[in-house]
């Protein structure tokens, strides 16, 4: 079995034992219910054991919490769904119940030093791999893409707080590197016992900043980011007195106790070292490979669609009648905004926006447009492009149209052409 830590003779107080039992149960359950890709391919195992709870959680929401809507599990890209919050309630109540039972059962155990060590290992690796995941996404600039043509045309006032945050982050590649490497370094430091305090301090700063953005800009990852802050504080709790002595009181701080429980059979300890470094190497190779592959599909350097950009209408002919561009007209195209991922937006003269699936056949010089709500009603337009002029001819909503458009150079946007300046005589806040 395992040899005890040096402080094995220390006797914990009842409150310390109580707190440990609760957080031990809570953190273990949180990792199991919110793996968050904390280990590659762990999701396959997650899909097996989570199945019974996908029926239990909605039942708890309906019959115990009396939620108005059903707390059903459904992938939406949000980490703060009703299902997620009911799950958090469930594991919190289960942690309280386990803590009570654990405290009632008679035991002569003076402390939980060994179990505490393995809990910190779990929390360190979960926090580290989460930081590494988000960090590499920023380093490869996959999480926050550069503002699209549609975003550049959207007024500030029409933007959601989350879109505003995404635009702010996506504009600067340098700031992505700064925040991304901060997360990567904190993750690396957390992987080793000697640097875990440094990693926890750095992850606390990084995670607190992310949490603040999530709360202040209504980004639906509040639950996870808050947990990362709590986990960082948990890892720092043991060193709190040392940190106060060194950082606040300016006195000598004792070295950290980084003793680790070991198995009596040496081969087991050696095997654990091999597994640890093998896992770290696997994680880094996986993140770098996946990030490099994703760059060609989702990053700023990914190929843009053939007609990507913003086009302003110069002439709109409907059924052989040339329409006058009136400010109240909801039919006349004022602008066509072609974005990535097969979508485009038509801005009418009255500034109303209409989103369409936008399929381009470059060989046949043909565009097919339709809405997600009605995939059967499709409009087909032939296109020709010369220099910056785009000509569209065909059927649009059962009418024959001929539309002549002029492409708007994206470099004309101040956000893009302003650039960087070491010397500024006056603030350029426009």
DSSP secondary structure, 6-60, as one string: TTTT----HHHHHHHHHHHHHHHHHHHH--TTSSTTHHHHHHHHTTTHHHHHHHH
Please write the tens of the pLDDT for every residue from 239-261: 888 888 888 888 887 777 777 77
What pLDDT shows up at residue 4?
52
Residue 407 lies in a domain: yes
Residue 79 lies in a domain: yes
Contact 112, 120 (CB under 8 A): no
- Distance of alpha carbon 77 from alpha carbon 87, whole angstroms: 17
What pLDDT shows up at residue 9?
62
Q: What's the pLDDT band for 277 if we cut at 50, 70, 90?
A: confident
Phi, psi of 55 (to 5 degrees): -100, -35
Same domain, 158 and 258: yes
- Distance of alpha carbon 120 from alpha carbon 235, whole angstroms: 7
- Tell which wins on pLDDT, 58 or 350: 58
- Distance of alpha carbon 287 from alpha carbon 128, whole angstroms: 13
Same domain, 330 and 248: no
Same domain, 194 and 53: yes
- Distance of alpha carbon 46 from alpha carbon 36, whole angstroms: 10
Same domain, 106 and 79: yes
Q: What pTM was computed for the model?
A: 0.87
Phi, psi of 144 (to 5 degrees): -120, 90
* Helix, coil or strand: residue 96: helix
Same domain, 313 and 294: no
Residue 208 lies in a domain: yes
Please write the tens of the pLDDT for every residue from 42-70: 888 888 999 999 999 999 999 999 998 88
Segment of 157-161, 208-212, 332-336, 342-346 carrying the highest mean pLDDT:
208-212
**Which CATH number goes with the domain that contains 400?**
2.40.128.270
Q: Which residue, of 265, 298, 331, is where some domain finishes?
A: 298
What pLDDT shows up at residue 1?
46
Q: Which domain holds residue 88?
A: 2-298
Contact 202, 209 (CB under 8 A): no
Residue 429 lies in a domain: no
Which burial class, exposed, middle or buried, applies to 30 when counting CB atoms under 10 A from its CB (0-12, 13-18, 19+)? buried
Same domain, 90 and 199: yes
Q: What's the pLDDT band for 235 if we cut at 50, 70, 90?
A: very high
Same domain, 292 and 313: no
Same domain, 376 and 263: no
Q: Token pair 């958090």 is at which residue? A: 88
pLDDT, averaged across the chain: 89
Residues facing 338 on adjacent strands: 309, 344
Sign of dihedral through CA atoms 71, 59, 90, 47? negative
Strands 399-408 and 389-396: antiparallel
Same domain, 205 and 324: no
Contact 318, 329 (CB under 8 A): no
| 113-139 and 14-33 helices, crossing angle to 10° | 40
Residue 424 lies in a domain: no
- Residues 221-234 have a mean pLDDT of 96
Same domain, 187 and 58: yes
Listed range (18-27, 106-115, 180-189, 366-375) with the worst mean pLDDT: 106-115
What pLDDT shows up at residue 214?
96
Same domain, 379 and 262: no
Residue 290 lies in a domain: yes
Please write the tens of the pLDDT for every residue from 388-409: 999 999 998 888 999 999 999 9
Residue 77 lies in a domain: yes
Percent of the chain at pLDDT above 70?
A: 97
Q: Hey, how many other C-beta atoms are within 10 angstroms of the C-beta on 159?
A: 14
What pLDDT shows up at residue 8?
54
| Domain tally, the chain | 2
Q: Which residue, of 298, 323, 353, is where some domain finishes?
A: 298
What pLDDT shows up at residue 5?
52
317's enclosing H/E stretch is strand 309-318
pLDDT at 230 over 70: yes
- Residues 117-124 have a mean pLDDT of 94
Residue 346 lies in a domain: yes
- Residues 140-148 have a mean pLDDT of 90
Strands 333-338 and 321-322: unpaired
Contact 38, 231 (CB under 8 A): no
Same domain, 332 and 279: no
- Tell which wins on pLDDT, 219 or 419: 219
Query: Percent helix, strand, coil in the chain (nearest 5)?
Result: 50, 15, 35
pLDDT at 231 over 70: yes
Residue 418 CA to its chain's centroid (Å): 29
Q: Which residue, of 260, 278, 298, is where some domain finishes?
A: 298
């Amino acid at each position: 079995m395992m040899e005890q830590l040096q402080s094995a003779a220390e006797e914990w107080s009842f409150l310390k034992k109580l707190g440990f039992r609760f957080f031990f149960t809570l953190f273990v359950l949180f990792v199991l219910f919110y793996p968050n890709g904390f280990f590659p391919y762990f999701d396959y195992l997650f899909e097996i054991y989570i199945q019974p709870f996908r029926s239990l959680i909605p039942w708890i929401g309906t019959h115990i919490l009396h939620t108005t809507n059903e707390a059903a599990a459904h992938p939406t890209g949000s980490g703060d769904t009703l299902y997620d919050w009911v799950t958090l309630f469930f594991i919190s109540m289960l942690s309280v119940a386990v803590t009570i039972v654990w405290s009632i059962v008679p035991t002569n155990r003076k402390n939980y030093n060994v179990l505490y060590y393995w809990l910190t290992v779990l929390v360190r690796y979960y926090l580290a791999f989460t930081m590494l995941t988000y960090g590499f996404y920023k380093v490869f600039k996959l999480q926050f893409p550069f503002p699209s043509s549609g975003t550049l045309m959207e007024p500030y006032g029409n933007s959601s707080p989350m879109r505003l945050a995404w635009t702010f982050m996506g504009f600067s590649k340098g700031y992505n590197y700064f925040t991304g490497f901060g997360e990567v370094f904190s993750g690396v430091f957390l992987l080793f016992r000697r640097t875990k305090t440094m990693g926890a301090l750095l992850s606390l700063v990084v995670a607190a900043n992310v949490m603040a953005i999530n709360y202040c800009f209504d980004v639906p990852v509040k639950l996870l980011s808050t947990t990362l802050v709590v986990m960082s504080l948990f890892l720092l709790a043991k060193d709190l007195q040392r940190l106060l002595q060194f950082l606040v009181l300016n006195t000598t701080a004792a070295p950290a106790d980084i003793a680790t429980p070991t198995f009596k059979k040496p081969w087991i300890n050696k095997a654990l070292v091999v597994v640890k470094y093998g896992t770290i190497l696997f994680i880094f190779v996986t993140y770098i490979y996946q990030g490099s592959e994703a760059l060609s599909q989702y990053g700023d350097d990914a190929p843009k669609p053939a007609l990507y950009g913003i086009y302003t209408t110069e002439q709109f002919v409907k059924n052989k009648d040339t329409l006058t561009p009136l400010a109240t007209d909801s039919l006349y195209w004022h602008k066509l905004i072609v974005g990535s991922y097969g979508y485009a937006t038509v801005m009418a003269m009255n500034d109303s926006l209409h989103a369409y699936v936008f399929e381009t056949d470059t060989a046949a010089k043909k565009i097919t447009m339709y809405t997600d709500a009605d995939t059967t009603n499709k409009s087909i337009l032939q296109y020709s492009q010369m220099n910056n002029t785009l000509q569209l001819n065909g059927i649009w909503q059962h009418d024959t149209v001929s539309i002549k458009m002029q492409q708007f150079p994206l470099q004309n946007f101040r956000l893009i052409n302003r650039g960087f300046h070491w010397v500024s005589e006056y603030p350029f806040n426009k």
